[in-house]
Amino acid sequence: MYNAKGSTASEMTSVSGSAGKLRKKPAVLQFNIAKQLPKHTNCLSCSDDGKYLSIGHAGGLSVWCSSTLTCEAKWLQDCLEITCIHMTTTSETSYLLASIDDMGVARIFLYNLESIYLFSVINTLEDINKRNICLNFEISEGGDYGAVTMKCNSDIWLDIYYFPVEDWLRELKDPKLSANMKWSLAARVNKIIPSAATMADFSNMLTHCLVLDETNESPSYCTYHFLLKCDHCHGENKPNSGCPVNVCFWWSGSYNLLYHNLSKTPKSKQDPEPQPSVLWPNAAEILCSAISRCTRFIVLGLSNSLVCVWDRLAGAPLSVCTLSTDSAFLRLQFVEYWPACADITQTLTAGEIHLMVVCKSGAFYVMNTRRGAAALTLRLSQRPEDSGDLLTVTASVAFLKGLSLVVHRNGKMFLQDVVNRATVCALIPPTSHLLATPCNPVYTLNVKQHILFMQGDKEPTLSSSSIKSNRQSQLLVLRFDEHDVIKPYVVSHLQSPWQQKTSVTGEEACKKYLQERALSMDERHKAITQTWKRLQETGAYVKT
């Protein structure tokens, strides 16, 4: 476990040091009005290959061609409103869709050859007083697994499903295909409840950590991430480029990050509750987490202002550092940034990691860290005086090196180079429109075609016909490749240097880790010396 005393000393630098760079007036990019959206559109998602958009709205969902923006298929049902949707590619012509409606019902669909098929309802409503409500639903890339957070009254748990995608694709070729087709069943392979971890059969040390993790209050949510093999080359230009092997998760109020191995077969009813395969204890309550695109790195933000970056390949922390802030962490995010001419033979050597840190106060930081070196923390913005300046979106743009999409509650949007602390450009809707629901924008990024899709509302006028219920919701489109200011940031591939090597043995990983420790000894000694000096200064101040 780690605490502030054992962490690497952090350096705090204010953004004012480069005020000239930030005050430079950025370029302005304007969205185009593309097409009217269905009534009460609530969510957008883009397929991994960039060919299709899925839209959740009142009455069901639709699939559009992302190039022509024509509707290819619809699934409609009265008295139903889709509030959350997720889309992934399963084959060259098939796409899996996961949805949640306004009643908390989770469904799995498959889009294939201009038709949408309902394959499974995860939680059917039987007893209105004892119904399971889906809080969150995510499917892995390729659609092999799904993780569903369920709640019934005061109980909450995590369900892991295996989806028989290959069987479904084979059944779609049945010449007797009809609306009443009996599809292969999705298999729930694990049901994980918060108390299951406290019964795990670990060593005395880990069992002690689990006991310390118990809280008086029931957890209110579960955060989870699908994890690929660390030696797997993820991000290739083909569907199913990687199947997850683990899911890691933590419960609200918990100190521990837990792992479970993924399986394709359900557990027997006689089996005990599934035990976590790995436990990473922490010194304080976990507030937020994020994983890198390749899933090699996991970052945790703790309640005692510690930021912990774990390297799954090395099996050890990459960095543990303190961020001096007067507000709790709200969310963390990796910045997609790496040298253009990286030495891909050194895939086991984790280079510099760039993180975005957003606090509940609205303060915004970027943290640069690497193994054995002190972290450098840069404050990009302070606590805003106006609530309209609070951040609602901070999203790393995978196809733009080091750039992040930033949206404020007042509707202002920017692309920021957070590594170099510069605002590259401002994004604005057409003069006749406003960004819809800037407190929770409806948007999606097309990674393959370098397009940003957003929902916009026609700007109201003094006319009585412009009341909110009559606003026309439009799909706004911004094609980044059309703007010269963006072209220097476009990356030709989405693989980091750490994803290039396809096979790494345990002996190689251990050898490289020991080499890194030896090479970083001077830097680590310097960081420890600085930490002790600060502790002595603090102790002397307390005594006085």
Tokens 């969150």 sit on residue: 136
List C-alpha distances in Å: 322 to 9, 70, 270, 325, 428.
Answer: 7, 50, 45, 9, 36
Per-residue tokens: 250: 């933590």
**Are 480 and 544 found together in one domain?**
yes
pLDDT tens series, the chain, 544 aa: 333 333 333 444 444 333 344 446 889 999 999 899 999 999 999 999 999 999 999 999 999 999 999 999 999 999 999 999 999 999 999 999 999 999 999 999 999 988 999 999 998 766 667 788 999 999 999 999 999 999 998 889 999 999 999 999 999 888 787 767 889 999 999 999 886 444 344 444 455 555 555 555 677 889 999 999 876 433 333 333 578 999 999 999 999 999 999 988 887 665 556 677 888 888 889 999 999 988 989 999 999 999 999 888 777 788 888 888 878 999 999 987 754 434 433 444 456 889 999 999 888 898 888 776 667 888 888 888 888 888 999 999 989 988 999 999 999 999 999 888 889 999 999 998 999 999 999 999 999 999 999 999 988 764 444 445 555 699 999 999 999 999 999 987 655 444 444 445 557 667 766 776 676 677 667 766 766 666 666 666 556 6
Q: Where among 281, 311, 331 does a domain terminate?
A: 281
Measured distance CA(61)–CA(87) in Å, rounded: 12
**Are 378 and 254 found together in one domain?**
no
Tokens 């392979």 sit on residue: 189
Q: Where among 252, 281, 310 does a domain terminate?
A: 281
Q: CA angle 326-328-330, nearest 5°?
A: 135
Burial class, 252, CB count within 10 angstroms (exposed 0-12 / middle 13-18 / buried 19+): middle
**Are 139 and 81 found together in one domain?**
yes
- Is there a domain that residue 445 lies in? no
Per-residue model confidence (pLDDT) at position 127: 67
pLDDT digits (tens, 9 = 90+) for 115-164: 999 999 998 766 667 788 999 999 999 999 999 999 998 889 999 999 99
Q: Where among 226, 250, 281 does a domain terminate?
A: 281
Burial class, 437, CB count within 10 angstroms (exposed 0-12 / middle 13-18 / buried 19+): middle
Per-residue tokens: 431: 């003069």
On whether the CB atoms of residues 366 and 522 are closer than 8 A, the answer is no
Q: CB-hemisphere CA count at 13 Å for 446?
A: 23
Residues 6+ positions from 173 with CB-CB distance below 8 Å? none
On whether the CB atoms of residues 233 and 495 are closer than 8 A, the answer is yes
Number of helical H runs and strand E runs in the chain = 5, 33
- Is there a domain that residue 442 lies in? no
**Are 349 and 273 found together in one domain?**
no
pLDDT digits (tens, 9 = 90+) for 217-275: 677 889 999 999 876 433 333 333 578 999 999 999 999 999 999 988 887 665 556 67
List C-alpha distances in Å: 260 to 61, 188, 200, 224, 275.
Answer: 32, 14, 12, 11, 8
**Are 26 and 55 found together in one domain?**
no
Q: What is the H or E stretch that residue 530 is in?
A: helix 521-543
**Are 136 and 7 found together in one domain?**
no
- Is there a domain that residue 453 lies in? no
Q: Which residues of 295-323 are buried (b: 16+ CB within 10 A; e: fewer)?
A: bbbbbbbbeebbbbbbbbbbeebbbbbbb
Is the torsion defined by CA of 317, 319, 324, 327 positive or negative? negative
Q: What is the CATH number of the domain that holds 184?
A: 2.130.10
- Is there a domain that residue 206 lies in? yes
**Are 227 and 301 found together in one domain?**
no
Helices 521-543 and 506-519, axial angle in degrees (round to 10): 60
CA torsion angle 29 395 142 45 (round to 10) = -50
CA torsion angle 74 78 81 87 (round to 10) = -30
Per-residue model confidence (pLDDT) at position 13: 45
**Are 252 and 326 found together in one domain?**
no
For residue 189, the enclosing domain spans 34-281
- Is there a domain that residue 286 lies in? no
The DSSP line for 262-323 is --SSPPPTTS-SPPPSEEEE-SS-EEEEEE-TTS-EEEEEETTSEEEEEETTTTEEEEEEE-
**Are 112 and 187 found together in one domain?**
yes
List C-alpha distances in Å: 199 to 192, 268, 275, 405, 487.
Answer: 12, 18, 8, 42, 54
- How many domains does the chain contain in total? 2
Q: CA angle 397-261-319, nearest 5°?
A: 50
Report strand pairing: 422-428 vs 27-30: parallel
**Are 464 and 521 found together in one domain?**
yes
Burial class, 495, CB count within 10 angstroms (exposed 0-12 / middle 13-18 / buried 19+): middle
Residues 6+ positions from 262 with CB-CB distance below 8 Å? 145, 160, 162, 189, 244, 245, 246, 247
pTM: 0.81
**Are 83 and 229 found together in one domain?**
yes
- Is there a domain that residue 452 lies in? no
Measured distance CA(146)–CA(294) in Å, rounded: 18
On whether the CB atoms of residues 115 and 178 are closer than 8 A, the answer is no
- Is there a domain that residue 486 lies in? yes
Q: Phi/psi at 271 (nearest 5 deg)? A: -70, 145
- Is there a domain that residue 414 lies in? yes
The DSSP line for 13-43 is EEGGGGHHHHHSPPEEEE-EEEEEPPTT--E
In which region does residue 537 sit, left (phi positive, over 0), alpha (psi from -120 to 50) or beta (all else)?
alpha
Per-residue model confidence (pLDDT) at position 210: 53
Closest CA to 318 of 340, 292, 342: 292
**Are 39 and 7 found together in one domain?**
no
On whether the CB atoms of residues 33 and 447 are closer than 8 A, the answer is no
